[in-house]
Amino acid sequence: MIVTGKAFKYGDNVDTDVIIPARYLNSSDPEHLRQHCMEDIDKEFAATVSEGDILVAGKNFGCGSSREHAPVAIKASGISLVIAESFARIFFRNCINVGLAILECPEAAASIQKDDVIKADFDTGIIENVTRNEKYQSRPFPDFINGIIKCGGLVEYTKDRTGI
Amino acid sequence: MGMTITQKILADHAGVPEVKAGDLIEAKLDYVLGNDVTTPPAIKIFKEMGFDKVFDKERVCLIQDHFTPNKDIKSAELCKTMRCFAREQEVRHFYELGRHEMGIEHVILPDNGIVLPGDMVIGADSHTCTYGALGAFSTGVGSTDLACAMARGVTWFRVPEAIKVVLKGTFNKFVTGKDLILHIIGMIGVDGALYKSLEFEGEGLKSISMAGRLTICNMAIECGAKNAIFPFDEYTLRYIAKTNPARFSKSQYKIYTADEDAEYAQTIEIDLSDVPLTVALPSIPSNTCRAEDCKDLKIDQVVIGSCTNGRLEDIGAAAEILKGLKVHENVRCIIIPGSQKIYRYALEAGWLRIFDDAGCVISTPTCGPCLGGHMGVLAKGERCVSTTNRNFVGRMGDTGSEVILSGVPVAVASAVLGRVGTPDEL
């Protein structure tokens, strides 16, 4: 599976309180969450993000609360992939469960700048920076994890596998 | 090769004699927990996946505490969804607001004797790691994992490696478990224990009360840890003898100890007498500083409570320090006992009178202000000293507001002084 999009770039320790502030957790509707995604660190995000765009950040992305609303909000914004130097543990697990693609790649996280055009192949783990003509190698997920992401999350994957 | 305490609990619940760091296992769960923010999406997933019964109605805990008593119509709908599901499934550990068993999830699961040593618990709340204080394995997950765990009573884990924290010495006056965990987060950073366990040991344990241990484990997530755990000792024994005499007398709990040859990724040694009264300045819990070096910071609000510091010992310490004093004219001081039982105790012990005399707000148990929900949301430019667990941008209100994390003694002193302060100034 290959995705292409322009990059949004953030720093280290982006926490789930800024990804989706708790004041909006009175609903888990993806459309409601999308409208407020990232608003406490980037007021322009919701208005400027396009389908397929890629979010790039430093270390420990998604730290803090266990709210699954955070990856849901990012996914509902149209983000096709999050690249970070590292991910916080619960967020990492939640991303796979909701079918938000993520790749851990310190080199890509350091080199990619805002608005760079990025192309990534989930099967090989190769991330290509089209704007800067650079390539970075991340460790791809095994097939079953890519399968969950491709299906759109663990619920869809389970339904697909069990024929519900 | 030997195993850590965490690895032994994981191995036992996976039904295998041994695990090592990095192994992927499926483990049986003793308790599965959700709250009013994370359970409603889990219920939707539970139904969508075609499940109709929870795996064990005695072992599912659904606690309404985040936006309760409901702050708006949407949050009322969340609680209604949870309440209907709990009734339909006859979930034992669902309590209505105001009842004696009720309170903040991570205060009541240990205090009501639900979680015991050796138990394996997941919760759709990042602070589920609290129960390591009792020698249990507990960690936070999201709503999809909660849904599957409610249905099947199992979940998968990657076995973590551990950081050993060796404690010696004793705390100085007014220094608590909160100062120690802030101190550790300041030392290793907010991702210093990412994917790992924190395992505590050493003679210093003797000077950390059970309330202090619960606070320490509660905030392990703030340095990225998967879980934190204390060895079983006489403090654990006394605590569970009180919280669950029935299971205690029948020895329905299990003590795990680390092997002598267990491997650790890192060892940290801390002399408790070197731990100062510590605060975490905005906007990350690792931005720690000695409280005495921050005395020029004026404040607008103080919050004393939460799953981190709303326990009986915390509320009692607040009352003791505040007795006969007044909250500063420019400060709102909000006291939130962590459970209905603590509230009742505070009432009968005369603590509520002390708070009322001092000019505090006294709230029913709720997470409310900790996550900017209600009961103390901050305006732009306002600053709060809080005994809660996170000080991220906008955590307690406007993105232009600030949260300074502290233990109870510093929070009380700050409430009286109108700025960051220490109890010896009172």
Considering the domain architecture, whether residues B50 and B133 belong to the same structural domain is answered as: yes
CATH number at residue A43: 3.20.19.10
DSSP A105: -
Q: Count the neighbouring beta carbons within 10 Å of the beta carbon of residue B90.
A: 12
Give residue B1's pLDDT band: very low, low, confident or very high (50, 70, 90): confident
Q: Are B307 and B367 in contact (CB under 8 A)?
A: yes
Enclosing domain of residue A64: 2-162
Considering the domain architecture, whether residues B162 and B285 belong to the same structural domain is answered as: no
pLDDT tens string B278-294: 999 999 999 999 999 99
φ, ψ dihedrals at B304, nearest 5°: -120, 110
Considering the domain architecture, whether residues B106 and B216 belong to the same structural domain is answered as: yes
Interchain contact, B143 vs A68, CB within 8 Å = yes
Considering the domain architecture, whether residues B297 and B266 belong to the same structural domain is answered as: no
pLDDT above 70: residue B165 = yes
Rounded Cα gap, residues B224 and A64, in angstroms: 8
Residue B73, CA atoms < 13 Å, CB-side half-sphere: 0
Q: Which of B195, B213, B210 is nearest to B242 (CA)?
A: B210
Tell whether A25 is within 8 A of chain B (Cβ).
yes
pLDDT above 80: residue B47 = yes
Q: Nearest CB to B142: which of A18, A64, A68?
A: A68
Name the domain count of chain A: 1
Considering the domain architecture, whether residues B288 and B308 belong to the same structural domain is answered as: yes
Which of left, alpha, beta for B363 (phi over 0: left; psi -120 to 50: alpha)?
Answer: beta
Q: Are A86 and A61 in contact (CB under 8 A)?
A: yes
Give residue B26's pLDDT band: very low, low, confident or very high (50, 70, 90): very high
Q: Are B163 and A32 in contact (CB under 8 A)?
A: no
Considering the domain architecture, whether residues B266 and B309 belong to the same structural domain is answered as: no
Which residues numbered 86-145 in A keep a CB inside 8 Å of some CB on B?
A: 86, 88-90, 93-94, 97-98
Enclosing domain of residue B396: 279-425
Enumerate helices (H) and strands (E) in chain B, giving the number of each. 14, 18
Determine the pLDDT at residue B195.
Answer: 96
Interchain contact, A154 vs B224, CB within 8 Å = no
Give the mean pLDDT of B92-110: 98
Determine the pLDDT at residue A162.
Answer: 74
Helix spans in chain A (H): 16-19, 30-34, 45-48, 69-76, 89-98, 106-111, 143-151, 154-162
Name the domain count of chain B: 2
Considering the domain architecture, whether residues B144 and B124 belong to the same structural domain is answered as: yes
Contacts of B34 in chain A (CB under 8 A): none
Considering the domain architecture, whether residues B156 and B263 belong to the same structural domain is answered as: yes
Q: Are B295 and B421 in contact (CB under 8 A)?
A: yes
Residue B320, CA atoms < 13 Å, CB-side half-sphere: 11
Domain boundary among B208, B241, B270: B270
Considering the domain architecture, whether residues B321 and B219 belong to the same structural domain is answered as: no
pLDDT tens string B166-184: 999 999 999 999 999 999 9
What Rg do the C-alpha atoms of chain A give, in angstroms? 15
Q: Nearest CB to B75: which of A26, A63, A65?
A: A26
Contacts of B388 in chain A (CB under 8 A): none
Domain boundary among B230, B251, B270: B270
Tell whether A43 is within 8 A of chain B (Cβ).
no
**Residue B252 carries which side chain, given as an amino acid letter?**
Q
Give the chain A residue nearest B45 (alpha carbons): A155
What Rg do the C-alpha atoms of chain B give, in angstroms? 20
Rounded Cα gap, residues A99 and A97, in angstroms: 6
Rounded Cα gap, residues B229 and B208, in angstroms: 13
Rounded Cα gap, residues B237 and B120, in angstroms: 18
Interchain contact, B74 vs A63, CB within 8 Å = no
Considering the domain architecture, whether residues B74 and B218 belong to the same structural domain is answered as: yes
Considering the domain architecture, whether residues B251 and B301 belong to the same structural domain is answered as: no
Interchain contact, B145 vs A23, CB within 8 Å = no
**CB burial of residue B330 (10 Å; 0-12, 13-18, 19+):** exposed
φ, ψ dihedrals at B260, nearest 5°: -65, -30
Rounded Cα gap, residues B224 and A66, in angstroms: 12
pLDDT tens string B339-368: 999 999 999 999 999 999 999 999 999 999
CATH number at residue B18: 3.30.499.10
Determine the pLDDT at residue A31.
Answer: 97
Domain boundary among B222, B249, B270: B270
Residues near B52 by beta carbon (within 8 Å), at least 6 away in sequence: none
Considering the domain architecture, whether residues B69 and B218 belong to the same structural domain is answered as: yes
CA distances (Å), origin B413, targets B137, B322, B386, B401, B410: 35, 8, 12, 21, 5
Give the mean pLDDT of B112-125: 98
Which residues numbered 389-418 in B keep a CB inside 8 Å of some CB on A?
A: 390, 392-395, 399
Question: In angstroms, what separates the C-alpha of A144 from chain B's closest C-alpha?
Answer: 14
Interchain contact, B142 vs A25, CB within 8 Å = no
DSSP string over B370-386: GGTSSSSPBPTT-EEEE
Determine the pLDDT at residue A164.
Answer: 62
Tell whether B34 is within 8 A of chain A (Cβ).
no
Which residue stretches of chain A have pLDDT < 70? 164
